[in-house]
Amino acid sequence: MIRSIEFRAMNTTVMLAAEGELAMEGMQATKLYIDECEQRFSRFLPASEVSDLNRSAGEWLSISADLMEMLQLSVKYHKQTNGIFDPTILADLKRVGYDRSMDEIRTNGVTDGSLASNRRSLSSFTEINLDPTNRRVLLPRGMEIDLGGIAKGWIVEKAAHLLRQYVDVCGVSAGGDILFIGQPSDGMDWDVYLEDPRDPTQMLAQLHIPCGAVATSSVMKRSWTHAEVLRHHLIDPRTGEPAETDWLSVTIICPNIIEADVYAKALLIGGWQEALKLLQTNSSATFIAVHSTGNLISSTNYKDYMYEPATDIFLSTGIAS
Amino acid sequence: MKLLKFGLRFWITVTSILSFLTGWIMLAHAPKPSSTSSGSSTVTTPLPTLEPLRPLSDFAPNDNNVQNQPTFGFQSQNQSRPSRPFFSTGGS
Q: CATH number, domain at A310? A: 3.10.520.10
The answer on A308 and A198 residing in a single domain is: yes
Section A275-282 average pLDDT: 75
The answer on A132 and A208 residing in a single domain is: no
Q: Contact at 8 Å (CB) between A126 and A75?
A: yes
In what helix (H) or strand (E) does residue A249 lie, and over which residues does it extend? strand A247-254
For residue A313, the distance in angstroms to the closest alpha carbon of chain B comes to 12
* Residue A266 to residue A261: CA distance in whole angstroms: 9
Instruction: Assess A265–B contact: CB distance below 8 Å, yes or no.
Output: no
* Residue B42 to residue B38: CA distance in whole angstroms: 9
Task: Using alpha carbons, select from A290, A221, A214, A294 the residue that is nearest to residue A249.
Answer: A290
The answer on A261 and A200 residing in a single domain is: yes
Most confident option among A24-33, A45-54, A291-300, B1-10: A24-33
For residue A16, the distance in angstroms to the closest alpha carbon of chain B comes to 9
Q: Which three-class secondary structure state does DSSP give residue B22?
A: helix
CB within 8 Å: B90 and A15: no
The answer on A119 and A202 residing in a single domain is: no
A99 located within any domain: yes
Instruction: Assess B59–A contact: CB distance below 8 Å, yes or no.
Output: no
Count of the separate structural domains present in chain A: 2
For residue B44, the distance in angstroms to the closest alpha carbon of chain A comes to 31
* Residue A59 to residue A112: CA distance in whole angstroms: 31
Condensed to tens digits (0 to 9), the pLDDT of residues A30-69 reads 999 999 999 999 988 899 999 999 999 999 999 999 999 9
A106 located within any domain: yes
Q: Contact at 8 Å (CB) between A28 and A22?
A: no
CB-based burial label for B56 (10 Å; 0-12, 13-18, 19+): exposed
CB within 8 Å: B91 and A249: yes
The answer on A306 and A194 residing in a single domain is: yes
* Residue A129 to residue A125: CA distance in whole angstroms: 9
Paired with A241 in beta bridges are A236
Condensed to tens digits (0 to 9), the pLDDT of residues A63-89 reads 999 999 999 999 999 998 888 899 988
Q: Which amino acid is at B52?
A: P
CB-based burial label for B19 (10 Å; 0-12, 13-18, 19+): exposed
Rg, Å, chain B Cα set: 37
Choose the final residue of a domain: A146, A164, A199: A146
A63 is in which domain, residue-wise?
A: 44-146
Choose the final residue of a domain: A146, A173, A204: A146
Most confident option among A45-59, A84-98, A295-309: A45-59
Condensed to tens digits (0 to 9), the pLDDT of residues A227-273 reads 677 777 788 888 877 888 888 899 999 999 999 999 999 888 888 77
A137 located within any domain: yes
The answer on A201 and A95 residing in a single domain is: no
The answer on A240 and A125 residing in a single domain is: no
**A295 chain-B contacts, CB cut-off 8 A:** 69
Strands A169-174 and A129-131 turn out to be: unpaired
User: What is the percent of chain A with per-residue pLDDT over 70, rounded to a whole number?
Assistant: 90
**A197 chain-B contacts, CB cut-off 8 A:** 90-91
Condensed to tens digits (0 to 9), the pLDDT of residues A146-197 reads 898 899 999 999 999 999 999 999 999 998 899 999 999 999 999 999 998 8
**B66 chain-A contacts, CB cut-off 8 A:** 196, 198-199, 202, 294
Q: Contact at 8 Å (CB) between A234 and A243?
A: yes
The residue of chain B nearest to residue A149, with distances taken between CA atoms, is B92
In what helix (H) or strand (E) does residue A102 lie, and over which residues does it extend? helix A102-108
A286 located within any domain: yes
User: What is the percent of chain B with per-residue pLDDT over 70, rounded to a whole number?
Assistant: 45
For residue A99, pLDDT over 80 is answered with: no
Choose the final residue of a domain: A123, A146, A169: A146
Alpha-carbon dihedral A299, A280, A246, A236, rounded to 10 degrees = 140
Instruction: Assess A225–B contact: CB distance below 8 Å, yes or no.
Output: no
CB within 8 Å: A17 and B64: no
A50 located within any domain: yes
* Residue A30 to residue A157: CA distance in whole angstroms: 11
For residue A172, the distance in angstroms to the closest alpha carbon of chain B comes to 9
The answer on A194 and A308 residing in a single domain is: yes
The answer on A311 and A193 residing in a single domain is: yes
For residue B68, pLDDT over 70 is answered with: no
The residue of chain A nearest to residue B87, with distances taken between CA atoms, is A192
CB within 8 Å: B91 and A11: no
| Nearest CB partner across the interface for B67, out of A216, A294, A310 | A294
Considering only residues 22 to 51 of chain B, which have any Cβ-Cβ distance to chain A shorter than 8 Å?
A: none
The answer on A205 and A307 residing in a single domain is: yes
Q: Contact at 8 Å (CB) between A173 and A195?
A: no
Paired with A179 in beta bridges are A172, A213
**Crossing angle, helix A65-80 and helix A257-281, to 10 degrees?**
20
The answer on A240 and A124 residing in a single domain is: no
Instruction: Assign B47 a pLDDT band (cuts: 50, 70, 90).
Output: low
CB within 8 Å: B77 and A221: no
**B67 chain-A contacts, CB cut-off 8 A:** 293-294
Q: What are phi and psi of A169, to 5 degrees?
A: -130, 125
Instruction: Assess A221–B contact: CB distance below 8 Å, yes or no.
Output: yes
Q: Which CATH number belongs to the domain containing residue A50 in this structure?
A: 1.10.3980.10
A12 located within any domain: no
For residue B63, the distance in angstroms to the closest alpha carbon of chain A comes to 12
Paired with A108 in beta bridges are none
